[in-house]
Amino acid sequence: MNLQYIVRSLGVLVFFGSVSGAAFGAGGEAFTDPAKAGPDFALQGEYKGSVETPDGIKTYGGQVIALGDGKFRIVGYEGGLPGDGWSRGDGQTTMDAESKDGKITAKSERADLVIGDGKIAVQVNGQELGSLKKVERKSDTLGAKPPKGALVLFDGSSAENFRDGKLVDGKWLGATNCESKKKLGDHRLHIEFRTPFMPKSSGQGRGNSGVYMQSRYELQVLDSFGLEGKNNECGGIYSISEPIVNMCLPPLAWQTYDIDFTAAKYDADGKKTKNARATIKHNGFVIHDDLELTHGTPGRHGEGPGPDSLFLQNHSNPVVFRNIWVEEK
């Protein structure tokens, strides 16, 4: 593999490399305990720091994605991490590498990357030009308490507010095709979720579930850490819109959705007169801003008048939820 660290014509030092034809490996075990996830899990994650370039010291973000058996994909972001200095359309490059003895080393004619001990070191001829330190970002709404008057759908003590709801490890709500007994119209929803670590799985088989607003519009749940952020990836509304930026955190990190939903309107004859709309924050960052939901999405109920349940999709992956509460508008 021809891994490179190059200086672009604009004089900015960026990650660059050829990408293997295969995306993620097929199949594999799902880990739900970080202590049992293995050495690749320890290297995976987000990194941010500064590197000396011909144009001065620049800030970069890096995401290291485990692909199984010591294989990794490294995504570099000019300006910082997604939602923290980098926006969709800014400079972004990708390279593949492998680990040995607990570290990832990617060598090229221009520079070397050494990933381990909690940082990405950028070196030329043994001299370090800068480093990106490993960070663990958390949503600013993680653990948010329900405001006065809110309806708590799940607090970890019981799944009784969901039809077909099941507790996992005695405290989480499993993704079991369960639906809230409460039917919702216009509302604000807070929900927290965690995807498993499935390094050898691919695409839609990697931490897949879905949060269906009113059982009609699917807000995707997926381990799409380091991916492009499409409408069938985490934060996307399937077949309607990709997120403004992919704010997906690494697997086994707790993440948040904060949803402000306005239901579609219908006349007395049952004809839709106004589309549903939603503003959605993923890990505290607005990924859909007053988005018009032009149609229902597949997998649950079609559009129609009247309130309907919150539905949490089972896609055969051990995704779990917690801290679910709703305010009716």
Q: How many domains does the chain have?
A: 2
pLDDT at residue 107 in the model: 78
Could you read off the pLDDT of 216-238 as tens digits, one per residue?
A: 999 999 999 999 999 999 999 99
**Same structural domain, 156 and 130:** no
Q: Which of 102, 135, 168 is the last residue of a domain?
A: 135
CATH number of the domain at 279, please: 2.60.120.560
Tokens 């995704």 locate to 319
Query: Is 220 contained in some domain?
Result: yes
Return the structure tokens found at 18.
């050829």
CA 100 to chain centre: 27
Query: Is 144 contained in some domain?
Result: no
Q: What is the mean pLDDT of each run of 10 residues along the chain (329 residues)?
A: 27 34 51 96 97 91 96 95 96 93 83 92 90 98 98 98 98 98 98 98 92 98 97 97 98 98 97 98 98 97 97 96 98
> Which of 314, 308, 51, 66 minimizes the C-alpha distance to 186?
308
Which structural domain range is residue 65 located in? 3-135
Predicted TM-score (pTM) of the model is 0.91
Query: Is 70 contained in some domain?
Result: yes
* Cβ–Cβ < 8 Å for 50, 61: no
Q: Which of 108, 135, 162 is the last residue of a domain?
A: 135
Cα(first)–Cα(last) distance of the chain, in Å?
A: 55
**Same structural domain, 69 and 115:** yes
Query: Is 143 contained in some domain?
Result: no
Whole-number Å distance between alpha carbons of 284 and 247: 9
Return the structure tokens found at 262.
């306005």
**Same structural domain, 177 and 304:** yes
pLDDT at residue 111 in the model: 73
Whole-number Å distance between alpha carbons of 122 and 208: 34
**Same structural domain, 130 and 167:** no
Query: Is 214 contained in some domain?
Result: yes
Instruction: Check residue 294 and give left, alpha or beta (phi > 0: left; psi -120 to 50: alpha).
Output: alpha
H-only helix segments in the chain: 39-43
Query: Is 142 contained in some domain?
Result: no
**Same structural domain, 217 and 79:** no
Could you read off the pLDDT of 70-123 as tens digits, one per residue?
A: 999 999 999 999 999 999 999 998 989 999 999 999 876 667 899 999 999 999
Q: In what order do the strands lie in the sheet with 308-312?
A: 162-163, 178-184, 308-312, 209-213, 217-221
CATH number of the domain at 115, please: 2.40.128
pLDDT at residue 156 in the model: 98
Return the structure tokens found at 186.
């216009």
**Same structural domain, 164 and 277:** yes
Whole-number Å distance between alpha carbons of 294 and 231: 14
> Which of 258, 200, 237 minimizes the C-alpha distance to 67?
200
Q: Which of 111, 135, 159 is the last residue of a domain?
A: 135
Return the structure tokens found at 26.
């097929």
**Same structural domain, 116 and 185:** no
> Which of 96, 106, 102, 120 minimizes the C-alpha distance to 25?
96
**Same structural domain, 205 and 170:** yes
Return the structure tokens found at 205.
């088989």
Whole-number Å distance between alpha carbons of 236 and 157: 30
**Same structural domain, 111 and 255:** no
**Same structural domain, 108 and 157:** no
**Same structural domain, 72 and 213:** no
**Same structural domain, 176 and 275:** yes
Q: Across the chain, what does the average pLDDT equal?
A: 91
Return the structure tokens found at 5.
């660290």
pLDDT at residue 125 in the model: 85
